[in-house]
Amino acid sequence: MYMKRNCFKHTLKGILLLVLVMFTLPAEAKIFERSEQRVDTLVKKRSLKERLTPNMITFQYAGNIAWCSVGVGWESLSKRSLTEALIGYVPSHHTTQSLTTVTLRQYYTPWEVEIPLPFITKGNLNFRPLTAGILVNAVLFDGDFWMREPTSHYGGEYYRFTTRVRLAFSLGQRLTYEFPEHWKSWGESAELYYDFSANELSIISAVPNQRISISDILSLGFGARWKF
């Protein structure tokens, strides 16, 4: 257990260092190509149906929302904002019984960096060194999780928080391959990402308790997206 936790800490330090390095990149790091005026024009031309129709599919493993999750997403035309809705599953060997969860998540990405592809002449590879997110996760169809503590639990005045819904915050990175023109019939792009997340209850618990380390409250999740 100690070696596993120590390895996790070193991995976290390495990723955080990478994020700090990316913050110091010079100005030539690629900012999103579409100007704000161009995006505003495109948004005005989109119909309500186009705005409400998802443009990507997401699959995620772990990450503070479920054992595995699948859902849809809406990426803005500027590519800076991403909204997702996911359904998750937790098998019974992780808890007393299997659980179903639902997650609503909002991401923001300040910029992206284009990575040269010397061996691939078509398509673009983009790296997003910082993706900040906020999410709400809820457990469905299980009476052991409640919005308001039942009176059977110490008169309903012991915990004073909901066990059904959690608010969490995340930081991560994304690697996106934009398909070349002759692949567009298959979709727009494919993406791999990871997130470190922590929910509000863990953060509040860690503030007065020095025994709780950052590795105790963080959860690591990996995922893939296909934009169509």
- Model confidence pLDDT, tens digit, residues 193-211: 999 999 998 998 888 888 8
Q: Which of 19-23, 45-49, 78-82, 97-101 has the lowest mean pLDDT?
A: 19-23
Identity of the residue numbered 103:
T
Counted domains in the chain: 1
Which residues, other chains included, contact 72 with Cβ-Cβ below 8 Å and sequence gap of 6+? Answer: 54, 56, 57, 58, 84, 85
Q: Is residue 125 a part of any domain in this protein? A: yes
Segment of 45-54, 115-124, 148-157, 169-178 carrying the highest mean pLDDT:
169-178
Q: Is residue 39 a part of any domain in this protein? A: no
Q: Is residue 40 a part of any domain in this protein? A: no
> Which domain range does residue 199 map to?
51-227
Q: Is residue 14 a part of any domain in this protein? A: no
Query: What is the model's pLDDT at position 156?
Result: 52
| Collapsed DSSP state (helix, strand, coil) of residue 1 | coil
Q: Is residue 30 a part of any domain in this protein? A: no
- CA 171 and chain centroid, separation: 8
Rg of the chain over CA atoms, in angstroms?
A: 20
- Residue 2: which pLDDT band, with cuts at 50, 70 and 90? very low
DSSP-assigned beta bridge partners for residue 173: 194
- Residue 173: which pLDDT band, with cuts at 50, 70 and 90? very high
Query: What is the model's pLDDT at position 123?
Result: 80
24-64 tens-digit pLDDT = 444 444 455 444 555 555 555 667 777 789 999 999 999 99
Residue 12 has pLDDT above 70, yes or no: no
92-146 tens-digit pLDDT = 876 778 899 999 999 999 989 998 877 666 788 999 999 999 999 999 976 676 5
Q: Is residue 141 a part of any domain in this protein? A: yes
Q: Which two tokens stand for residue 42?
A: 């495109």
Q: Is residue 58 a part of any domain in this protein? A: yes
Total-model pTM: 0.77
The region, left, alpha or beta by phi > 0 then psi within -120 to 50, assigned to residue 79 is left
Q: Is residue 16 a part of any domain in this protein? A: no
Segment of 18-22, 71-75, 89-93 carrying the highest mean pLDDT:
71-75
> What CATH number is attached to the domain comprising 133?
2.40.160
DSSP-assigned beta bridge partners for residue 157: none
